[in-house]
Amino acid sequence: MPSLHGKWSLVTGASRGVGAHLSTALAQLGSNVVLHSRRLDHTRDLAARLAQTGVKVVTVAGELSDQRAVDDLLDAALEQAGAIDIVYNNAAIMTPYRENTWEVTAEDFRTSFEVNVISLARICYRLMPPMLSRRWGRVVNLTSGIKEQPELCAYSISKAAVDKFVRDFVPKLAGTGVQMNLLDPGWLRTDLGGPRAPNDPATCLPGALVPALLDDGISGRFFCAQDYAGLTIEAALTKAGRR
């Protein structure tokens, strides 16, 4: 079983859905965790459960459409954890489904970019330079396989921007010990994915852990968590290594 003992992981949007599964899995691998959501009480029960596994757990809160709140939550995370080794930029919003495809609003674009792109970049800008100094870090940015749904384009275009952000960093990260990759968890029955989604949220594991555990120096990969559903972590890592 791989170990993340002694590392600190920050998971944004840890209170439910993918983030709660991920945080639990990271703690089970020995990582201390910083759990983020919009309100501290959203992660209180999860924090208590994870603390029972013996890892250190910190909770931080912040609305990701507010860049000052992003700075404040990062201050709080760093003050309590000291340093962050692994970041899952998992929190995101999906804008309303616009039946009239010609009427996706400017506000839809603005809010999805604030939460899904600008805050994600701000978190990377703050946490990645120290990772580069320490010559170790893993950044996993949640993206989506969504396509051909112009009714949701404010959301899907924000995820395309995340993909571009990650891929443009590839040359900068080569040989640094810091890896930044993309993760599509699959269409899951979470609050964001909705009840019609084909997959249970738990099926994001173990695939969601793969980009944090691989040590191949490669950035810019697009991991589909569903490719690894039903495998052990070891088998998932072997499959990811084979590519």
Ligand X SMILES: NC(=O)c1ccc[n+]([C@@H]2O[C@H](COP(=O)([O-])OP(=O)(O)OC[C@H]3O[C@@H](n4cnc5c(N)ncnc54)[C@H](OP(=O)(O)O)[C@@H]3O)[C@@H](O)[C@H]2O)c1
DSSP for residue 101: G
Answer yes or no: are the C-beta atoms of 181 and 240 closer than 8 Å: no
225 is a contact residue toward ligand X (CB under 6 A): no
Which of 3, 5, 6, 39 forms a contact with ligand X (CB under 6 A)? 39
229 is a contact residue toward ligand X (CB under 6 A): no
Of 74-103, binders to ligand X (CB under 6 A) are 90-93
> Scanning the structure block, which residue is given the tokens 């993340």?
4
Which of 59, 60, 77, 193 forms a contact with ligand X (CB under 6 A)? 193
d(Cα 93, Cα 11) in Å, to the nearest integer? 15
Q: Which residues pair with 11 in a beta bridge?
A: 35, 88
Q: Is 83 helix (H, G, I), strand (E, B) or coil?
A: coil
40 is a contact residue toward ligand X (CB under 6 A): no
156 is a contact residue toward ligand X (CB under 6 A): no
Which of 4, 7, 10, 17 forms a contact with ligand X (CB under 6 A)? 17
Answer yes or no: are the C-beta atoms of 12 and 89 closer than 8 Å: yes
- Region of 44-52, 63-71, 127-135, 211-219 interacting with ligand X (CB under 6 A): 63-71
72 is a contact residue toward ligand X (CB under 6 A): no
211 is a contact residue toward ligand X (CB under 6 A): no
d(Cα 62, Cα 227) in Å, to the nearest integer? 32
190 is a contact residue toward ligand X (CB under 6 A): yes
Instruction: Give min distance, CB of 146 to ligand X, in A.
Output: 7
Q: CA torsion sign, 25 to 231 to 183 to 195?
A: negative
Which whole-number Å values give the CA distances from 66 to 62, 71, 72, 73, 114, in the listed order?
8, 9, 10, 11, 8
> Scanning the structure block, which residue is given the tokens 């954890």?
81
115 is a contact residue toward ligand X (CB under 6 A): yes
In the bound state with ligand X, the residue whose beta carbon lies nearer, of 43 and 219, is 43
- Region of 79-87, 120-128, 192-200, 220-228 interacting with ligand X (CB under 6 A): 192-200
- φ, ψ for residue 86 (rounded to 5)? -130, 130
In the bound state with ligand X, the residue whose beta carbon lies nearer, of 64 and 178, is 64
In the bound state with ligand X, the residue whose beta carbon lies nearer, of 164 and 172, is 164
Among candidate residues 11, 14, 70, the one with its CA nearest the CA of residue 46: 14
Instruction: Give min distance, CB of 134 to ligand X, in A.
Output: 26
Among candidate residues 137, 124, 211, the one with its CA nearest the CA of residue 178: 137
Question: How many residues lie near ligand X (CB under 6 A)?
Answer: 30
206 is a contact residue toward ligand X (CB under 6 A): no
- φ, ψ for residue 145 (rounded to 5)? -85, 10
112 is a contact residue toward ligand X (CB under 6 A): no
Site residues, ligand X (CB under 6 A): 13-19, 37-39, 42, 63-65, 90-93, 115, 142, 144, 184-185, 187-188, 190-193, 197
